[in-house]
């Protein structure tokens, strides 16, 4: 369809752009279910991730190059067991492009954002990130980007359920703020990879050293320390919030069961099966 490219502001044939990279969708389907269910719409089965008519072919190609780099240099090596992951400037670009798409998605699907205290901040951040993505202009103001790599949960000392599934399987994206207006982040995660960008500093950003992405390159060393209160608090509250969401109805529950029973051994040996087993039996 014809429209204005969100990155280059030119009228083009717009592609149906994935918010979550296509390789993430493929991996999630390959290692779990061929269907997706949005947390807020558990009765609706989807065969693909969230997509928008957003970008022209040139923008898609720019993003695709960095997605390919991330898949080959970070995603696959870590999933395969590597714990020392060197990176270059492509990780920074990939992260900005992912969080920028999440920000665009939120702006497009939530008309009430204009009423929030942080609306002007996210608009300013969107413009700064967009300029970086299309021209390479250095980000000076909203320049704190982080990545945290998760793994199978070995111990759960909280009152939460579904911790392993959320940290290792879930796809999630949102704007994070608090009632006291002392924190603002753009957040996105897929599988075992959590990303966030800080738009309003909480005050202990010095605790981000293990997660901070250097724009010119560095090395991710796993396991990473995570003591940054805003993201720790958010993760707890997010998983707690998911516990209260409605489950699929009886018909959809039966469809899920039927899918599992086609090959139960293969299901329980899959990544999603191991995650569910861990949450329901090992972490009680």
Mean pLDDT, residues 4-10 = 96
How many beta carbons lie within 10 A of that of residue 8, not counting itself? 16
Calculated CA dihedral for residues 105, 109, 112, 116, nearest 10 degrees: -10
Q: Are 37 and 47 in contact (CB under 8 A)?
A: no
| Chain segment 152-171, per-residue pLDDT in tens | 998 888 888 889 999 999 99
Q: Is the pLDDT assigned to residue 146 strictly greater than 60?
A: yes
| Chain segment 262-274, per-residue pLDDT in tens | 666 676 777 888 8
265 or 142, greater pLDDT = 142
Q: Which of 47-51, 218-222, 246-250, 258-262 has the lowest mean pLDDT?
A: 246-250
Mean pLDDT, residues 109-113 = 91
Strands annotated E in the chain: 2-4, 11-13, 15-18, 36-38, 41-46, 51-55, 84-88, 144-149, 172-177, 184-190, 193-200, 217-221
What pLDDT does 278 receive? 80
Q: Which of 14-23, 139-148, 192-201 has the lowest mean pLDDT?
A: 14-23
Q: Which one, of 17, 68, 74, lies nearest residue 191 by Cα?
A: 74
**pTM attached to this predicted model:** 0.90
Give the C-alpha separation, 220 to 209, whole Å: 10
Split at pLDDT 50, 70, 90, the class of 251 is low
Most confident listed range (135-149, 239-253, 269-283)? 135-149
83 or 281, greater pLDDT = 83
224 or 47, greater pLDDT = 224
């Amino acid at each position: 369809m014809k429209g204005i490219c969100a990155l280059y502001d030119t009228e083009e044939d717009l592609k149906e752009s994935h918010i979550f990279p296509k390789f993430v969708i493929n991996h999630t389907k390959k290692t779990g279910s061929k269907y997706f269910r949005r947390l807020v719409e558990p009765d609706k089965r989807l065969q693909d991730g969230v997509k928008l008519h957003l970008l022209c072919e040139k923008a898609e190609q720019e993003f695709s190059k960095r997605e390919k780099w991330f898949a080959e240099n970070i995603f696959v090596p870590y999933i395969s067991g590597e714990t020392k992951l060197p990176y270059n400037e492509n990780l920074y670009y990939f992260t900005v492009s992912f969080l920028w798409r999440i920000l665009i998605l939120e702006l497009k699907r939530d008309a009430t954002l204009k009423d929030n205290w942080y609306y002007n901040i996210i608009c300013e951040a969107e413009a700064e990130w967009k300029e970086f993505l299309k021209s390479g202009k250095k980000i000076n103001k909203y320049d704190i980007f982080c990545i945290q790599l998760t793994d199978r949960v070995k111990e759960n000392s909280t009152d939460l359920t579904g911790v392993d599934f959320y940290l290792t399987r879930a796809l999630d994206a949102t704007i994070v703020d608090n009632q006291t207006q002392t924190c603002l982040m753009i957040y996105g995660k897929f599988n075992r990879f959590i990303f966030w960008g800080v738009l309003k500093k909480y005050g202990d950003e010095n605790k981000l050293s293990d997660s901070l992405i250097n724009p010119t390159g560095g090395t991710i060393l796993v396991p990473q320390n995570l003591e940054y209160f805003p993201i720790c608090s958010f993760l707890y509250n997010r998983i707690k919030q998911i516990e209260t969401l409605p489950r699929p109805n009886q018909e959809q529950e039966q469809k899920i069961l039927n899918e599992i029973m086609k090959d139960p051994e293969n299901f329980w040996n899959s990544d999603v099966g191991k995650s569910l087993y861990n949450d329901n039996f090992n972490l009680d």
